[in-house]
Structure 1
Amino acid sequence: MKNAIKWSSIALAVAVGNGLIVSQAAAIDGNEGFIESSSATLSNRTMNFNRDFRSPGVAQSKVDETATGFVLNFESGYSRGPIGLGFDTISMLGIKLDSTSDDAGTLLLPSTQGDTGPSNYSEIRGAVKAHIVEDTVLRYGVHLPSNPVIAYDDIRLLPNHYNGYSITNTSIDGLFVEAGRMTDRGEMNDSSEVDGAFTLDEDVTYLGGTYAFSDDLSSSLYTSKADELWKRHFLGLTYNMALANDMSLVTDLAHYQTSDDSPAGSNFDNKASSLALTLGAGNHAFGVAYQRMGGDNGYEYFDGAVFLANSIQYLDFNAKDERSYQARYDYDFAGLGIPGLTFMTRYITSDNIDTAFEGGNRDSRWERNTNISYTVQSGAIEGVNVLLRNATVRQDDTLDGGDVDENRLIVSYTWDLL
């Protein structure tokens, strides 16, 4: 059953965000830098998510829901002085458009099979920040971290987020350094903050950064500790080589080293590596990638921190001892006079999966993805993006839900308010 959009709820979120802006601006009378450096955006995403479980005997054969979400993001500037103060807020609202008890459970909404959940859910989070000297920022409160050892997810209707504290520095040219500790995590389909992915403590302390040796070569190095789970290190390297005839070759290398730091009975020991090569030729791009798992277990994670080449729409190809191979093709239709239209297809196959529960046999699986995206270039709806994502997965019933066919239709747009 379709539900009417509750515009009053959207208006409330906008009013609260604007109220915070006005009250803070009044509190810092005459400080034009604080206001001039502020920004505010309102983003909308409407998604239909359909996943068909093809394996026999599954408890739920299909999930299929439609919802629309709004994110109001305000970022203030800093007050003047040796220590500049500011604040950020993020307001999120998810509205159910179509969901039935038989097909619920897409993670667009706080719903599960047999329960379509509430008609909407919302939350408002904030953070305070301080700008020290010229290049150092301290922050406490809501975070949307995006680094190889802790990263937020934005793959459904609304992004998930963390609460914690962090420090970043850019005082050395080409070097970005950050450190922090994230505690409570807000889920992408829930307005609450929770502890305990894997039923254990998920607090994460991290340190790392990225250094650009030149415009074409950069490297990332991070280390982290997820309490009662693991210690994790990451090394990444990206090199863009210019070739003749306006072609280029981009090389991406990523390596994770994870050591177990959990109570007895768990084991997260893992080595995960990937190497991706992408040849750009005008409006075409051709890519290949190789990824390999080692250690006593597969690569486990509880957020978006899986910066590996073969972590794609449905699978991560992260099982114990798994080796996976990717071939990819991208095309920008601007080359045919249709700017804004892009196409991507890729195929990943794997082997050598350790399936000890099957008598030590080695298993394999594959996934195929196709994306078609169009951004309106002019007119009344200029900037509106329509994205169709398709995935086909074929694997043993004991692996990650078995065979799956999936389609996502996403329409999105962002308004610049400040």
Structure 2
Amino acid sequence: MKNAIKWSSIALAVAVGNGLLVSNVTAQESEGFIEGSSATLSNRTMNFNRDFRSPGGNAAGQSKRDETATGFVLNFESGYSRGPIGLGFDTIAMLGIKLDSTSDDAGTGILPSSFGDTGPSNYSEIRGAVKANILEDTVLRYGVHLPENPVISYDDARLLPNHYSGYSVTNSSIDGLFVEAGRFDKRGDMAESFESDSVSQNVDDADKSTYLGGTYEFTDNLSTTLYTSDIDNAWKRHFAGIGYSMDLSEGLTLSTDLVHYKTSDESGTGAFDNDASSLAVTLGAGYHGFTAAYQRMGGDNGFAYDDGSIYLANSVQYADFNAKDERSYQARYDYDFAGLGIPGLTFMTRYITSDNIDVAPGVRDGRWERDTNISYTMQSGVLEGVNLLWRNATIRQDVGIDDNGDIDENRMIVSYTWDLL
């Protein structure tokens, strides 16, 4: 996500492969339909291993999930025709290829497979969009979207990104202000068996959604973000966030991110009422980053969502720490090895622990997760630009909190992007 409020400390985090983006939020200057065009081809090869450590495995009796696949994303973005209303179009084509999977170990989410079914050997999709750039600061778009905002966000945590279909409008005519609105009537998941790691209720048919919001930068150091959304027959959700950073001295910075979600039930079941807040503070000291975060759930339920990610500080590799009444605490450390003369190598480790989860009447529980990321991008030679990433997670929790119970997880990812135009 590239929203201004999204974790200013993310700049210190490990780069997770190469970004796969469709330009659906930013107006370009009208360089011309051909002159302003760009095209990239991205490849990501992933081994995803999730070991269920609880006796008997997860709730389905599966002891582990272990699959390997490679995926390609071809992303073409045209420029805009010249004139006060410039026209253009975008196309995104995706292909996933199974390299290794068995019926006992399937269901990682990187392939359209599930426990007992390894699925097809490959899967693919191609989608497009038409767009119009009005007076250089307003973009209208119809077709495929990869939205990135606090209330609706696409998923790119597995092999290929999911996407939405619908229409949107963005505007940046006021200096420092970005606003957008949209209506999506369909969501496509590239891996149909994708299982969200959210421990709270998820909506299986949250296709039709409306959103409105934006970000205003008061100064280079202070910004605020407000969004609202409506998922048909599910919930209404409001988001508010403030990001602030300051230079304490040469080489020493302090950044703060405060966010809050308010969700009200629209399903008639009362299943989605929730208040969720988090505060993250990051101290940057040269090549080091130190982060502390606190997150709290309120309301009648946990925080339900059916998107790729949420803008809460303790939404991490596996858990979101979003169960009913859950309180969680995070300590994180980042290091860029350029400080030791090894540019391209980065390290991140964090520990999150929680308590007060309302598991059953009169029963409160907690859990913890420890994550480690090591990333290296080749700096020269024939492999220049190739990114190697290892993501490790250890989760300890009762089955009453999450049907998967205790987990050890490793994701090995190799990625590269070619600039074609």
Report if the CA contact (8 A) 1:123-1:191 is conserved: no
CA distance in 2: counterparts of 1:75 and 1:190, whole angstroms: 26
1:254-297 per-position Cα deviation (integer Å, ceiling 9, x unaligned): 1000011113x342000000000000000100000000000000
1:156-213 per-position Cα deviation (integer Å, ceiling 9, x unaligned): 0000000010000000001000000111111031499xxxx73445311000000111
Structure 1 runs (4+) greater than 6 angstroms displaced: none
CA distance in 2: counterparts of 1:207 and 1:239, whole angstroms: 23
1:56-101 per-position Cα deviation (integer Å, ceiling 9, x unaligned): 2331010000000000000000111221110000000000001111
Give secondary structure in 2 for the equivalent of 1:214. coil
Q: Give the Å deviation of 1:134.
A: 2.0
**1:37 and 2:42 matched:** no
Q: Give the Å deviation of 1:245.
A: 3.2
- Identify the residue that residue 387 of structure 1 maps to in structure 2: 389
- Identify the residue that residue 7 of structure 2 maps to in structure 1: none
More RCO (CA 8 Å, sep 6+): 2
Q: Give the Å deviation of 1:313.
A: 0.1
1:5-62 per-position Cα deviation (integer Å, ceiling 9, x unaligned): xxxxxxxxxxxxxxxxxxxxxxxxxx97111100100000000000001112331010
Q: Which amino acid aligns with 2:353?
A: T
Gaps of 5+ in 1: 1-30
Q: Percent identity?
A: 76
Q: Which moved more, 1:280-289 or 1:265-274?
A: 265-274
CA distance in 2: counterparts of 1:201 and 1:309, whole angstroms: 24
Q: Which amino acid aligns with 1:417?
A: L
Query: What is the TM-score with the length of structure 2 in the denominator?
Result: 0.89
Seen in structure 2, the aligned counterparts of structure 1 residues 363 and 206 have a Cα distance that, compared at 3 Å, is same
- Identify the residue that residue 338 of structure 1 maps to in structure 2: 342
- Structure (1/2) with the larger helix percentage: 1
Alignment of 1:179-258 (within 5 A): 179-190=181-192, 198-258=203-263
CA distance in 1: counterparts of 2:233 and 2:328, whole angstroms: 30
Alignment of 1:14-413 (within 5 A): 33-57=32-56, 58=58, 59-190=61-192, 198-263=203-268, 265-356=269-360, 359-400=361-402, 401-413=404-416
- Identify the residue that residue 5 of structure 2 maps to in structure 1: none
CA distance in 1: counterparts of 2:393 and 2:296, whole angstroms: 22
Give secondary structure in 2 for the equivalent of 1:154. coil
Give secondary structure in 2 for the equivalent of 1:129. strand
Give secondary structure in 2 for the equivalent of 1:34. coil
Q: Which amino acid aligns with 2:345?
A: L
CA distance in 2: counterparts of 1:50 and 1:138, whole angstroms: 41
Count of residues in correspondence between the two structures? 381
Report if the CA contact (8 A) 1:326-1:348 is conserved: yes
Query: What is the TM-score with the length of structure 1 in the denominator?
Result: 0.89
Give secondary structure in 2 for the equivalent of 1:335. helix
Report if the CA contact (8 A) 1:127-1:139 is conserved: yes
Q: Which has the larger radius of gyration?
A: 1
Please report the RMSD computed on the Cα atoms of aligned residues, expressed in angstroms: 1.5
